[in-house]
């Protein structure tokens, strides 16, 4: 009993001593700081991790959106950057059904252009079904003799024409790449609408789409128009090229690598209890 209450007092004593310790040296490294799960920057960092995941998996049938942040810790590394340690639930992008929990770190480095992400997730969606859905979309697109053309997806009522849904999902996966690249600790992005889509009939194994998309920037509420080229073969990384009205040059995903500023190692199929 006594030992327990002493243990409880430990952190309290530390808190009392901390101001004294901090008063001395010139800004010592700050310890990890627990954030409220409702913290805006924690949600923002979790979305960045999911942009990265959605792009890296390159699977239009496996897109995830943020459910709820369960745990968030921020570590400030003076002169280097801010690192978020996160645990959050995810939802299927289309059905909003729960599809598993993720553990992620998102590291905003002062001298690097995009956040470094490491993410591992459990999944509850049937992986075989995902592969089959991806493949049937791919096959349908390969058999297309007249290229798919469409605009305003979703339309002003929020509806997506079923025939255009897979092309829209591929736009979400592709724009996840640029949303990951553009994200900062303070600025986040959602893909609001595909203004138009045009398919390119290719001779090789890939399917190839041109998109104009509108991104919604938060918290500024700005709308940003981007042009996107997405080339995809199931089971391979997406190739993405983009050009946004706010910049004046094309950017391109580096095919197949991607380990230098993030990783999705160990997307494993285990129960959430292991987290």
Ligand X SMILES: *[C@@H]1O[C@H](CO)[C@@H](O)[C@H](O)[C@H]1NC(C)=O
Q: In the β-sheet with 188-200, what is the strand arrangement from edge to edge?
A: 149-153, 188-200, 207-218, 223-232, 239-244, 251-252
Name the minimum Å distance from CB 65 to ligand X. Answer: 19
Q: Nearer to ligand X by C-beta: 27 or 274?
A: 274
Name the minimum Å distance from CB 105 to ligand X. Answer: 5
Q: Nearer to ligand X by C-beta: 59 or 101?
A: 101
Name the minimum Å distance from CB 104 to ligand X. Answer: 5
Identify whether the C-beta of residue 77 lies closer than 8 Å to the C-beta of residue 29.
Answer: yes
What the block records as the tokens of 237 is 């990384």
Name the minimum Å distance from CB 107 to ligand X. Answer: 10
Q: Nearer to ligand X by C-beta: 104 or 148?
A: 104
Residues at the site binding ligand X, with contacts judged by CB under 6 A: 103-105, 118, 120, 265-266
Q: Nearer to ligand X by C-beta: 150 or 262?
A: 262
Q: Nearer to ligand X by C-beta: 233 or 263?
A: 263
Name the minimum Å distance from CB 267 to ligand X. Answer: 9
Q: Nearer to ligand X by C-beta: 265 or 274?
A: 265
Q: Residue 31, class by beta-carbon neighbours within 10 Å (0-12 exposed, 13-18 middle, 19+ buried)? A: exposed
Name the minimum Å distance from CB 84 to ligand X. Answer: 10
Q: Nearer to ligand X by C-beta: 246 or 269?
A: 269
Q: Residue 87, class by beta-carbon neighbours within 10 Å (0-12 exposed, 13-18 middle, 19+ buried)? A: middle
Name the minimum Å distance from CB 247 to ligand X. Answer: 30
């Amino acid at each position: 009993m006594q030992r327990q209450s002493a243990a409880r007092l430990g952190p309290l004593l530390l808190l009392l001593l901390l101001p004294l310790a901090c008063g001395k040296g010139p800004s010592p490294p700050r310890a990890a700081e627990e954030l409220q799960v409702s913290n805006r920057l924690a949600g923002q960092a979790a979305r960045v991790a999911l942009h990265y995941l959605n792009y890296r998996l390159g699977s239009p049938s496996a897109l995830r959106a943020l459910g709820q942040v369960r745990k968030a810790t921020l570590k400030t590394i003076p002169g280097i950057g801010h690192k978020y340690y996160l645990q959050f639930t995810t939802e299927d992008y289309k059905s909003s059904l729960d599809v598993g929990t993720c553990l992620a770190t998102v590291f905003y480095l002062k001298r690097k252009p995009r956040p470094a992400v490491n993410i591992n997730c459990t999944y509850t969606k049937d992986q075989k079904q995902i592969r089959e859905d991806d493949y049937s979309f791919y096959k349908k697109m390969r058999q297309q003799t007249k290229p798919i053309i469409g605009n305003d997806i979703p339309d002003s009522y929020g509806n997506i024409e079923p025939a255009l849904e897979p092309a829209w999902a591929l736009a979400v996966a592709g724009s996840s790449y640029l949303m990951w690249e553009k994200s900062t600790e303070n600025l986040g992005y959602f893909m609001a609408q595909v203004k138009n889509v045009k398919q390119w009939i290719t001779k090789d194994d890939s399917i190839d789409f041109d998109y104009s998309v509108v991104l919604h920037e938060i918290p500024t509420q700005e709308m940003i128009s981007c042009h996107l080229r997405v080339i995809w073969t199931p089971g391979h990384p997406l190739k993405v090229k983009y050009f946004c009205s706010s910049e004046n040059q094309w950017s391109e995903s580096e095919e197949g690598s991607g380990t230098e500023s993030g990783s999705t190692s160990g997307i494993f199929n285990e129960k959430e209890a292991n987290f």
